[in-house]
């Protein structure tokens, strides 16, 4: 036997006796599974990844007890495609949900069916799939999947209590439970000085690429208030899980980054790099990993944890060896895509990311990048601070560059993430990086071919040459 192999096999037996028991045994021997989803929560906004520790104490407690992933990614920076990929284990181009609000193909086998085949009871509370899509996935139980319906958190607690009380000893079937918080998705909470959010207190650090103005600071504080509500939801869920499913494997993650300029709806890391923590008492040792994993990998990973064998047609690959500490790496590259959100956010793009490099291909560089944030008429609010960005850009050269970068993208972007982790310096036009650029071009081309991506844009974008369609004063739905 290879001298490296033996300790890895021994580690598997030591760390995951529950997994070994689940394989080939009755459903009752399989572990309970709890997946908790945040909505629009940026990785760098959680204390396990460097944010202020007071904002997310429950998330920090989970991180202290589990394996923290520093390089986890979603496949799309908008809600429906991201969640559809999670629940099918397939790339958006293969499952059919490429645009926001779209559903995956009805004929596909999905998450609940895979776990039901292993004898699991399945349930989803809150925003798990996109709004009102949950019924199409086939969960045994689901509730509260409408916009900002916060009843799903308490409903999940009540479900766990009722389920335990109705069982004579313990439930005969293991449970695969998914719970989605609506925080910190907009609309964000109103804040006031007497609520501990004094506008005159120290300025908050802003994400890279932001223009610092008074209203921007105000809205950043509102986002922080929404993050705190997410953490409160998480605390409520974790308390119930500890009480009713003390031996469950718990996964916490988020569907993409925050609704902030250059985050959600973008393929920069602020849009696609996601929080991920996996905790399992007595089975997974706490710590950190830099292994690159994708959201499509969660389904096959948890199926293996449950003692199953993932279907060969899945695009995702199990990272169970990473959980076992039998492997330090998982993927060599991450891929992601964005298309549109109805008539808003129409900006098709694709990317490939390695540990060091990011290559983004913008399919319509003749179009203006616009979102709910900058367009007038939306009900999601952030136009309030973006108008200050536009005003600042008229007199401040730095602000003008930042604003132009937001709206106008070149056909290709290349970033050295080691030197420039916030992706502020596009290297695509620099001759010294031409070999790296060509290599990533080819790598992305191969992925597009393999997934059958037809690079379609279902609605026309707003063009740069028609500024009245996207510039100051443009309506969200002209």
What pLDDT is recorded for position 322?
Answer: 98
CATH of domain 336-469: 3.30.1120.10
DSSP state of 71: E
What pLDDT is recorded for position 3?
Answer: 35
Residue pair 135/172 in contact (Cβ under 8 Å)? The answer is: no
Residues 414 and 430: their CA atoms lie apart, in Å, by 10
Q: For residue range 97-127, what is the model confidence (pLDDT) as tens digits?
A: 999 999 999 999 999 999 999 999 999 999 9
What pLDDT is recorded for position 381?
Answer: 74
pLDDT at position 55 over 60: yes
Two tokens at 79?
A: 């809600």
Residue pair 409/369 in contact (Cβ under 8 Å)? The answer is: yes
Residues 440 and 387: their CA atoms lie apart, in Å, by 37
Residues 6+ apart with CB under 8 A from 376: 383, 473, 474, 475, 476
Q: Say if 5-332 and 336-469 have the same CATH topology.
A: no
Phi, psi dihedral angles at 18 (to 5 degrees): -65, -35
Q: Which sign does the torsion angle of CA 257, 263, 265, 266 carry?
A: negative
Residue pair 378/387 in contact (Cβ under 8 Å)? The answer is: no
SS3 of 439, please? helix
Peptide bond into 2 cis (omega under 30): no
| Fold of domain 5-332 | Alkaline Phosphatase, subunit A (3.40.720)
Domain boundaries of the chain, sorted by first residue:
5-332, 336-469
Report H helices in 66-143.
79-88, 92-95, 111-116
Q: For residue range 279-324, what is the model confidence (pLDDT) as tens digits?
A: 999 999 999 999 999 999 999 999 999 999 999 999 999 999 999 9
pLDDT at position 203 over 90: no
Two tokens at 236?
A: 């409520």
């Amino acid at each position: 036997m290879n001298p490296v192999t033996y300790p890895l096999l021994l580690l598997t037996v030591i760390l995951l006796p529950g997994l070994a028991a689940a394989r080939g045994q009755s459903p009752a021997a399989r572990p309970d599974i709890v997946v908790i989803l945040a909505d629009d929560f940026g990785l760098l906004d959680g204390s396990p990844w460097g944010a202020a520790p007071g904002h997310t104490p429950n998330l920090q407690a989970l991180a202290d007890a589990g394996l923290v992933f520093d390089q986890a990614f979603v496949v799309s920076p908008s809600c429906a495609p991201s969640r559809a990929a999670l629940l099918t284990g397939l790339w958006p181009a293969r499952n059919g949900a490429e645009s926001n609000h779209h559903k995956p193909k009805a004929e596909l086998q999905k998450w609940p069916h895979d776990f039901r085949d292993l004898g699991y009871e399945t349930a989803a509370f809150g925003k798990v799939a996109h709004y009102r899509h949950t019924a199409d996935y086939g969960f045994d139980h689901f509730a509260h999947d409408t916009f900002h319906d916060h009843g799903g958190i308490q409903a999940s607690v009540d479900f766990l209590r009722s389920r335990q009380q109705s069982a004579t000893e313990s439930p005969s079937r293991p449970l695969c439970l998914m719970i989605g918080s609506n925080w910190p998705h907009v609309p964000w909470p109103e804040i006031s000085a007497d609520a501990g959010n004094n506008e005159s207190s120290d300025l908050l650090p802003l994400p890279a690429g932001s223009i610092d103005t008074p209203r921007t600071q105000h809205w950043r504080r509102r986002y922080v208030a929404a993050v705190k509500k997410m953490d409160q939801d998480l605390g409520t869920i974790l308390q119930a899980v500890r009480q009713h499913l003390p031996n469950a494997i718990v996964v916490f993650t988020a569907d993409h980054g925050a609704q902030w300029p250059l985050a959600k709806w973008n393929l920069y890391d602020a849009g696609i790099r996601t929080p991920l923590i996996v905790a399992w008492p007595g089975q997974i040792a706490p710590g950190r990993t830099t292994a690159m994993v994708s959201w499509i990998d969660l389904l096959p990973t948890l199926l293996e944890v449950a003692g199953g064998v993932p279907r060969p047609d899945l695009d995702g690959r199990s990272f169970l060896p990473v959980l076992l500490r039998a492997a330090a790496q998982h993927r060599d590259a991450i891929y992601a895509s964005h298309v549109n959100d109805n008539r808003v956010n129409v900006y098709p793009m694709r990317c490939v990311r390695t540990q060091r490099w990011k290559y983004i291909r913008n399919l319509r560089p003749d179009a203006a990048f616009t979102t709910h944030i900058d367009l007038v008429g939306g009900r999601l609010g952030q136009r309030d601070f973006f108008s200050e960005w536009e005003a600042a850009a008229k007199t401040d050269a730095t602000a003008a560059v930042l604003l132009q970068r937001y709206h106008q993208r070149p056909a290709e972007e290349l970033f050295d993430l080691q030197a420039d982790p916030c992706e502020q310096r596009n290297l695509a036009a620099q001759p010294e990086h031409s070999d790296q650029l060509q290599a990533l071009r080819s790598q992305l081309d191969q992925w597009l071919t393999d997934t059958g991506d037809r690079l379609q844009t279902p609605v026309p974008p707003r063009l740069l040459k028609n500024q009245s369609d996207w510039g100051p004063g443009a309506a969200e739905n002209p």
